[in-house]
Structure 1
Amino acid sequence: MTSTASHKPILDQPFVLDLFAGPGGLDVAGHSLDIPSLGIEWDRSACLTRYAAGLDTLHADVSAVRRNAFESLPPEINVLAGGPPCQTYSVAGHGAGRQALDKVKGYIERLMAGESDQRIDEELAALPDPRTALVLEPLRYAIQATRSPNRENRPYDLIVLEQVPAVAPLWEQYAKVLAGTGLPDGTTYKVVVGVLDTETYGVPQTRSRAVLIARREGLGQPSLPSPTHCSYEAKEWNRRNRGGASDQGADQIRQPPLDEDITKGGDEVLRPWMSMRDALASPVGSHPGRERPFLVRSNYGSSGNPGRRGVRTDEQPATTVTGRISRFVVFEHLDENVVFEGPRFSMNEAGMLQSFPPDYPWSGTAQAQQVGNAVPPLFGAHLLSAALGLSKPATETLRKPWQPATEEQRAKLRSNGCGAADDCTDRCPRAKDQVPPPSSVRPRKKKASAE
């Protein structure tokens, strides 16, 4: 099911609470749509980026805010959004979440039945990786809203969630209980769930995400955002560009995938997917532009051609941008016969491949990880637009350089978010609590026994 063209706003004054807000992908999406937001994020460096970008932030543990400070949240918040940490569910992770899927589904049922938070918390604390339980926080916030005197027990109107495809079964379970059982106060939602590819929404990167959009009963049936761009098909690309990238000239390597828009199903017109060249070739803001054709070697395969494993040209979308983006090697063409190693992606360029605006003020440490963990803002704008019944956002919306906050604005934001204008305080999460659990508690694959 995809969005229709009615474009009748569902809410007159949307206000987003962004859980696990990271450096601000969903908040930047809201900014592009003139929708205010408040983000909760516990990583110090991600908060520094948010302050520098001028985004309202609480430097806090999402779970702690729910337990101890929910009544301090603005009562006018009516859209709950976010993407819980995915490490334990990700294919690239250790798999604790995947092993616990059935158990987590059981917790969803128990929360909706109104079971004691204390009892559930005690059991969740015993999980091998406590991050596994964070996928329950959006549901717990939805329940808490109906018990909040500050909100007059008013439920959220909309819920918008995204995560790696492995989390899709849990979003399906969310949908089942939100539409069927309902929250403990009886509130039910119309819900849609799906797995979407970000390049089909103009993001210059192939990245699949499991999404959930829910509207409170009475606000209409939600729809997934309809695509605006063609999907990237690796096998089709390889068929049209036979042979390894290294033995072709620049003109052959840069053969464009599509020469014109494609009409699919009636009047629906899809634009060609955005390539790395589309995103990075032209100068914009402080970005000097990448004039020469280039190849990128990453740690990802190419779906069908082992000879080109991990290599994409500038005429293709980037592979999924992760915290390892700074390790991707970039080769530039001096001419069609000479290829040399060029400068690797800057954080500004890495952000642009995620659809962040040029000159987004990445700050603090582990900036590559911040970029990789973020929601692509353009994709987030499509999700919010579909949830709210707005028209599709323009791809060019996020192509203008970002204007960072002034020092005065940063100080004010940090005073609100951390408790002091120039530093963290005792109310901020401790750095030692922000590291993954030691390997001794992570599940390990069993070695095959010798026969």
Structure 2
Amino acid sequence: MSRVGTVVDLFCGAGGLSEGFRQAGFEVLAGSDFDDIAGRTFAATHPEATFIGGRIQDLSVQRLLNVTGLAPGELDVLVGGPPCQGYSVYNHNRGVDDPRAGLFREYLRIVEGLRPKWLVMENVSGLTSIANGGIIREIQDGMNALGYEVEFKILKAEDFGVPQERRRIFFIANRVGAPIRFPSPTHGENLKPLVTIWDAISDLPPVENGASEEGQRYRTAPTHPFQAELRSNRKTVSNHSAPKLSAVNMERMKHIPSGGSWRDIPFELLPEGMKKAKRSDHTKRYGRPRKSDLACTILTKCDVHWGAYIHPEQNRALTVREAARLQSFPDSFVFYGSKTEQYVQVGNAVPPLLGRAVANALISCDESLSQEKAVA
């Protein structure tokens, strides 16, 4: 595949967004993140790129230019997702006072010095409700002031073949006068069928609660094109171990059928705090999704107490590898660190298939980028 352009990934984490761009034919030159453990994963899975650790506030434009060998104005795309916990709909104290809520200004500082042709910034959809849209306007105004035309849109990951309900806001901008278009859905009504949980994970070997299946062979040959693509030519499975749940949680799961939740657990087995809950509340907690469902949003821990993270067949929580599949990470991604750190890397990432769709949309807009695209 010919290179279609160059990419630098700020707040790269494990590298989900840059992986999507790489699949579309871009060359990833560098990634930067404060999380050194995620950086180990990024470095191992992006051997062509340089990982730069440390705070974004301490990252100079000159260092990025030195690492990439580029001059200002030569980079094709700067991508990044400033840490979003301050904005997340799951953070009930979210707002502009959260210290993480201003990190997009560091992204803009790097933009001013690098002068890339294109910008892609992503974040949680809850960004739209902060300060009556004030953060959105500040991002737009900041990009406009640097000479970029910018548009934003909330994209649904499942529309692009990701087996998960996930909403992300994307800002796409350029200074080259090219039109800005967002990717058109490829999956859904009158399109390709949505990819379900079972389409994504049914070929992975069974795992007992608290046990590891590192290095085990797949349970079956690929039964769905999604599995075949993510497996590629791998023969064994990594990061496939289940968290060890308590005896009471194991007992609770025995009562939860396919499509069920905490409401199927006998009252005396419920956590004390949930004994007072209305049956209309917390619909995802202790959820066991149907095989035909989309996964709920993969967060930074697949805690059965907080979401529908029980395996469709087995009495256990989802493994890191299953969460990574539901995020559309290739099986070649080996996540480093403790199991807790691995879940964080997976949950914080942009699904690579969603990133690839955005990357291909940029290629379709800009004649200066090669017309050779990755096969979707």
Query: Structure 1 residues 361 and 309 mapped into 2: Cα distance closer, same or farther (>3 Å)?
Result: same
Q: Residue 227 in 1 paired to residue 227 in 2?
A: no
Q: Pick the aligned partner of 1:279 from 200, 211, 215.
A: 200
Query: Structure 1 residues 216 and 297 mapped into 2: Cα distance closer, same or farther (>3 Å)?
Result: farther
Query: Structure 1 residues 351 and 295 mapped into 2: Cα distance closer, same or farther (>3 Å)?
Result: farther
Whether the 8 Å contact between 1:47 and 1:59 is mirrored in structure 2 is yes
Partners in 1 of 2:296 and 2:331 — Cα distance? 19
CA RMSD of aligned residues (A): 3.0
How far does residue 276 in structure 1 lie from its aligned partner after superposition?
0.5
The gaps in structure 1 that reach 5 residues or longer are: 1-10, 101-127, 146-154, 231-261, 264-269, 300-304, 333-340, 396-451
Percent of residue pairs identical: 30
Q: Pick the aligned partner of 2:317 from 339, 344, 361.
A: 344
Whether the 8 Å contact between 1:198 and 1:208 is mirrored in structure 2 is yes
Q: Residue 39 in 1 paired to residue 14 in 2?
A: no
Instruction: Give the structure-1-normalised TM-score.
Output: 0.58
Whether the 8 Å contact between 1:287 and 1:358 is mirrored in structure 2 is no
Whether the 8 Å contact between 1:192 and 1:224 is mirrored in structure 2 is no
Partners in 2 of 1:215 and 1:12 — Cα distance? 19
How far does residue 68 in structure 1 lie from its aligned partner after superposition?
7.2
Which of 1 and 2 has greater Rg? Answer: 1
Partner of residue 59, structure 2: 65
Instruction: Give the structure-2-normalised TM-score.
Output: 0.69
SS at match of 1:39: strand
Query: Structure 1 residues 166 and 307 mapped into 2: Cα distance closer, same or farther (>3 Å)?
Result: closer
Q: Residue 377 in 1 paired to residue 336 in 2?
A: no
Q: Residue 316 in 1 paired to residue 297 in 2?
A: no
Query: Structure 1 residues 13 and 275 mapped into 2: Cα distance closer, same or farther (>3 Å)?
Result: closer
Q: Residue 133 in 1 paired to residue 102 in 2?
A: yes
Partners in 2 of 1:158 and 1:25 — Cα distance? 18
SS at match of 2:79: strand
Whether the 8 Å contact between 2:123 and 2:168 is mirrored in structure 1 is yes
Q: Residue 78 in 1 paired to residue 52 in 2?
A: no
Partners in 1 of 2:323 and 2:260 — Cα distance? 14
Query: Structure 1 residues 329 and 54 mapped into 2: Cα distance closer, same or farther (>3 Å)?
Result: same
How many residues were matched structurally? Answer: 288
Query: Structure 1 residues 351 and 229 mapped into 2: Cα distance closer, same or farther (>3 Å)?
Result: same
How far does residue 307 in structure 1 lie from its aligned partner after superposition?
9.2
Alignment-mate amino acid for residue 16 of structure 1: V
Q: Pick the aligned partner of 2:91 from 90, 93, 100.
A: 93
Alignment-mate amino acid for residue 37 of structure 2: S
Query: Structure 1 residues 221 and 388 mapped into 2: Cα distance closer, same or farther (>3 Å)?
Result: same
Partners in 1 of 2:59 and 2:155 — Cα distance? 30
SS at match of 1:309: coil
Q: Residue 196 in 1 paired to residue 151 in 2?
A: no
User: What is the CA deviation profile of residues 254-305 of structure 1, one whole-angstrom value per residue up to 9, with x for unaligned ones?
Assistant: xxxxxxxx44xxxxxx1121100111123599443599xx847789xxxxx9
Partners in 2 of 1:296 and 1:58 — Cα distance? 43
Whether the 8 Å contact between 2:151 and 2:171 is mirrored in structure 1 is yes
